[in-house]
Amino acid sequence: MPRFGAHMSVAGGLDQALFRGNSIGCDTIQLFLRSPTRWQAAPIDSDDVRAFQAAREATGITPIVAHGAYLINLASPQKALWRRSLSTLIDDLGRCQRLGLDAYVLHPGAHTGSGEEAGLLRVTEALRRALKAFGGGVRLLLENTAGQGTSLGHRLEHLARIIESAGWPERLGICIDTAHAFAAGYTLQGTEAYESFWQAVDNLIGIDRVGCLHLNDSLRDRGSHVDRHTHIGEGYVGLESFRRLVNDPALQGVPMILETPKSEDMLEDIRNLALLRSLCDQDDEPYPHEGAKRRESIR
């Protein structure tokens, strides 16, 4: 069975995200290292690190993934914002290293009208500088996007080009968000379409570069380019798409993390996690099917 989890709040301390995740049965979690809508972040001291490591030991939760702040925009044509985004990224990677996190998920950014070509070049240059400045072993995962506004990353080709050009391919990977992929125009519905999508991922980027999956259903229909998440099986992506995904042998080692809406008691996470686990090995089509066999052979 895959390792399932959800994005957890760090209210009260970074270690509390682990205890919250453990309380609802998470195998893995994602967290923010700072407020997603603020540049400032409290320093991480040795007590924070010890508390986090103790919580990780006590809960057994792994892997642990950090998500970059929404303010970071490495594609921005505004020099001050680009530099601040780069500085924040480097700081976040250092925080990941101190805490012993496994990966850091980042949206490529938005070109804000300056054009895709110019935006992709700025993202590539920022990543080149960040990875050169930060010598740690944290893997940076570029997340696909819905393509809302001028956001980059809604095409797999964008992610492939950035990874190829940034100069540190061994330290870069991708995070696939199911709702974003669907809103961007891809589909996981039906065996043929499902295989076509993952074949494209493999051909353009490499299935071995998939370091995280965000399991979210989409409130908007395919190709809407609107980023709106909803609960598993309640949106346009559909339950059968998630059934295929959680039973795909080529993805069994990839953490599968919810980013669906929830209340403070996290009952929605509990229901979504239970539903995902109920889908495992419950499909009518025996796995591994041919495409999964082929992808598994290259991992």
* pLDDT of 288 strictly over 90: no
Q: What number is the average pLDDT over the span 236-265?
A: 97
Q: What is the pLDDT of residues 174-230, one digit of tens each?
A: 999 999 999 999 999 999 999 999 999 999 999 999 999 999 999 999 999 999 999
Q: SS3 breakdown of the chain: % helix, strand, coil, rounded to 5?
A: 45, 15, 40
* pLDDT of 296 strictly over 60: no
Do residues 15 and 45 lie in contact, with contact meaning Cβ atoms separated by under 8 Å?
no
**Distance of alpha carbon 44 from alpha carbon 14, whole angstroms:** 9
Q: What number is the average pLDDT over the span 221-248?
A: 97
Q: How confident is the model at residue 295 (pLDDT cuts 50, 70, 90)?
A: very low
Q: How confident is the model at residue 55 (pLDDT cuts 50, 70, 90)?
A: very high
* pLDDT of 287 strictly over 80: no
Look at residues 80, 133, 78, 75 and name the one whose alpha carbon lies nearest to residue 106: 75
The CA–CA distances, whole Å, from 295 to 4, 101, 207, 211 equal 21, 27, 7, 15
Q: What number is the average pLDDT over the span 56-73?
A: 98
Q: What number is the average pLDDT over the span 54-81?
A: 98
Q: How confident is the model at residue 34 (pLDDT cuts 50, 70, 90)?
A: very high
Residue spans of the domains in the chain: they are 4-298
The CATH superfamily of 4-298 is Divalent-metal-dependent TIM barrel enzymes (3.20.20.150)
Specify whether the backbone of 128 is left (phi greater than 0), alpha (psi in -120 to 50) or beta: alpha
Name the percent of the chain lying above pLDDT 90. Answer: 91
* pLDDT of 145 strictly over 80: yes
Q: What is the pLDDT of residues 17-31, one digit of tens each?
A: 999 999 999 999 999
Residue type for position 87: S
Do residues 63 and 28 lie in contact, with contact meaning Cβ atoms separated by under 8 Å?
yes
Q: How confident is the model at residue 294 (pLDDT cuts 50, 70, 90)?
A: very low
Q: What number is the average pLDDT over the span 270-284?
A: 87
Phi, psi (degrees; rounded to nearest 5) at 113: 95, -5
Phi, psi (degrees; rounded to nearest 5) at 173: -150, -165
For β-strands 172-177 and 210-215, DSSP reports them as: parallel
